[in-house]
A = this chain, B = another copy of it.
């Protein structure tokens, strides 16, 4: 079966976010009343698994593989079956 996992990878609170600072500067330069901006990554991963539990475990392993544990945290934002959810091959 095929599942789509939505992984959110963000910097840990307190870690300097240069990209966020740059965007913040641009928005303030455009006159927007912005106080702060933090930028993260969202990944839509289509993966194959036999069950939802297996898909959830796999998505967590993938999130861990793509995250720098010193500076980042990841969250499994969503998991949905795409096709063949009824055990079809």
Any B CB within 8 A of the CB of A65:
yes
| Number of chain A residues whose Cβ lies closer than 8 Å to a Cβ of chain B | 31
Chain B residues with Cβ below 8 Å from A38 are 43-44
Copies of this chain, how many?
2
Identify whether the interface residues of A are mostly helix, strand, loop, or mixed. strand
Determine whether the beta carbon of A42 is less than 8 Å from that of B45.
no
Residue of B nearest to A58 (CB): B32
A2-B33 Cα distance, complex, nearest whole Å: 10
A48-B16 Cα distance, complex, nearest whole Å: 22
User: Which residues of A are interface residues toward B (Cβ below 8 A)?
Assistant: 2, 8, 10, 20, 23, 26-27, 30, 32-49, 58, 61-62, 65-66
